[in-house]
């Protein structure tokens, strides 16, 4: 299982990134992970910013943005990965043009299999 979180700062592209562009980058991330998108949600905030969510067959990806501070936060949780989370989130990083200031991999217990 993978649970990785990324804190981004100095996001130079965040002010012009639309929630739809963020979801597109998130779908590319899901594809890189080898995951299946089941649903998506955009929760916009006023006057700016959004939280975007992809529900995956394998769990979820979320991105929350604070354009006024040029910060964004990415959460990737999946039971499958065809690549590392850092490589998978590259489409989001490219869109935001920011710096990863913190990356953490959260240990999770494997899901028990039934026999």
Q: Residue 108: what pLDDT?
A: 81
In a domain, 27, yes or no: yes
Q: Residue 37: what pLDDT?
A: 98
Instruction: Give the residue among 98, 96, 75 at the shortest CA–CA distance from 85.
Output: 75
In a domain, 3, yes or no: yes
Beta-ladder partners of 114: none
Q: Residue 26: what pLDDT?
A: 98
Mean per-residue pLDDT pooled into runs of 10, the chain (115 residues): 94 95 98 96 94 97 97 94 88 97 88 73
In a domain, 32, yes or no: yes
The count of structural domains within the chain is: 1
In a domain, 38, yes or no: yes
Local structure of residue 114 (DSSP, 8 states): P
In a domain, 69, yes or no: no
Q: Structure pTM?
A: 0.92
Q: Which domain holds residue 17?
A: 1-46+91-109
Q: Residue 79: what pLDDT?
A: 87
Q: Residue 76: what pLDDT?
A: 97
In angstroms, the Cα distances linking 92 to 32, 64, 81, 107, 114 are 12, 11, 17, 23, 36
In a domain, 84, yes or no: no
In a domain, 4, yes or no: yes
Q: Residue 115: what pLDDT?
A: 66
In a domain, 65, yes or no: no
CB atoms within 10 A of CB 17: 21
Confirm if 25 and 36 have CB atoms less than 8 A apart.
no
């Amino acid at each position: 299982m993978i649970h990785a979180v990324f804190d981004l700062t100095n996001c130079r592209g965040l002010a012009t990134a639309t929630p739809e562009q963020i979801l597109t980058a998130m779908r590319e991330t899901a594809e890189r992970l080898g995951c299946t998108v089941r649903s998506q949600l955009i929760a916009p905030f006023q006057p700016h910013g959004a939280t975007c969510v992809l529900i995956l067959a394998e769990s979820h990806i979320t991105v929350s943005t604070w354009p006024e501070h040029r910060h964004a936060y990415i959460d990737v949780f999946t039971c499958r990965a065809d690549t590392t989370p850092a490589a998978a989130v590259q489409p989001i990083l490219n869109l935001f043009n920011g710096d990863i200031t913190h990356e953490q991999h959260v240990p999770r217990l494997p899901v028990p299999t039934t026999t």
